[in-house]
Structure 1
Amino acid sequence: MGLLVDVVKQGAGNSNDGNTARRFFANPGATAQITGVDEELIKRFGVILQVISCGEYVDVEKFREYCATTARRYVELYAWYYMPASVHKLLLHGAEIIEHNNFIPIGKLSEEASEARNKDFKKFRTFHSRKTSRIATNEDIIHNLLISSDPYLSSFRPKMSQIRNKPLSDEAKLLLNHSVTKANIEFVDIGNLSDCDTD
């Protein structure tokens, strides 16, 4: 499959990242043959990964049932292997996390945007900051980050071509809530809540 798993990358952690995971789950048949893990289980985990990272609203009840079925299958097949804490949290508590953060799709809360700014941070530090002191360097970096993210200034940039995400599988589409729109979401202004309103 051409994947490097758990390989240390100089100065950049290891090779276990989102791209590796997507490629791993993209071909469940080959993955199951190589790892010896149940193909249906790999397919289900791939669907869950698509749903939580797609940036769309999730149907909480369908997601809860899908994750519960996946957890039962995991325990039936691999009761001898203790379920990792991250897998437990996703399968058994993922729906509650999505339910209590329903003002924005769970995929929009990823650290992908901040990770994408790392290259800008390095560029600003190297080419657009004073090197007289750490305070001056950090001040210049912050100013450049603020300027580059300003919505008004960004409106003058030429439009970039839209990122083409891979289409969701049919199974993943069934777990999405297509009836939710921005107009349906009720926002609460936290600044206007008093101490007595918290219950």
Structure 2
Amino acid sequence: MKKKGNKEKQIQEKYLQLGLIIDQPKQGEGNSNDGNTARRFFSDPETAAAITGVDYDLIKRFKIILEVISCSRKINAKKFGDYANKTAILYNEKYQWRYMPSTVHKILYHGEQIIQHNMLPIGDLSEEAQEKRNKDYRFFREHNTRKISRYHTNEDLITILLCTSDPYMSSIRQKWKSPSIELDEEAKELLEHENQDYLEEIFTKIV
């Protein structure tokens, strides 16, 4: 346990020099291991492998998988399944002694089936929209609700959340340009019809 603690401290100190806080408690918000920390960690596999001692190829493969399932584009299920299966084999060869987390197991062993049975890309089914909605909730509660009673506060809050989430209101709202992220070449190879507008095809099937 002492050796493990020393190794963890060394990793934290090295990443702190790069401006990244790893596995540290945050007051009122759990710890520092959030999505932004993970993105920065996997953005530079060479540095991650050098600091942690984890196999470079394994980190790079996880980086590719995360890019693919987060990009909101149609994924080639067969190619993704083969890539994930090879990643699982590499994981078991290098770190058979380490228990594979259930989430990682689901992606590596069942990702192909999940992609095949979903009408939308996995990236469109994430909790990102829900997480962003929390900021709206706090803002609306502070600035757009009556504070005369808890009932009126909740009534106003629910009303404005319903209005702002209405499909028609969303369709006429100004579209915000999100920063585009260039995918790795390996990630692009796992996509299907990269530049095709697949939503029209999906909604046609629904109707």
> TM-score, with normalisation over the residues of structure 1?
0.85
Equivalent position to 2:117, from 100, 115, 122? 100
Equivalent position to 2:51, from 6, 10, 34? 34
SS in 2 for 1:12: coil
Cα deviation 1:76-117 (Å, max 9, x = unaligned): 00111111111111111111111111x111100001011111
Q: Which moved more, 1:1-10 or 1:31-40?
A: 1-10
**Corresponding residue of 1:65:** 82
Equivalent position to 2:128, from 112, 116, 120? 112
| Structure 1 residue ranges without an equivalent (≥5) | 190-199
The alignment's C-alpha RMSD in Å is 2.0
Cα deviation 1:11-49 (Å, max 9, x = unaligned): 222222221111111111110000000000000000000
Structure 1 residue 46 corresponds to structure 2 residue 63: yes
Seq. identity, % = 54
**Corresponding residue of 1:147:** 163
SS in 2 for 1:117: helix
- C-alpha deviation, 1:152, in angstroms: 4.2
Cα deviation 1:108-150 (Å, max 9, x = unaligned): 0001011111111001111211233333222211111122233
| Structure 2 residue ranges without an equivalent (≥5) | 1-17
CA distance in 1, matches of 2:76, 2:83: 11
**Corresponding residue of 2:104:** 87
**Corresponding residue of 2:205:** 187
Runs of 4+ in 1 over 6 A off after TM superposition: none
**Corresponding residue of 2:190:** 175
> TM-score, with normalisation over the residues of structure 2?
0.82
CA distance in 1, matches of 2:20, 2:188: 27
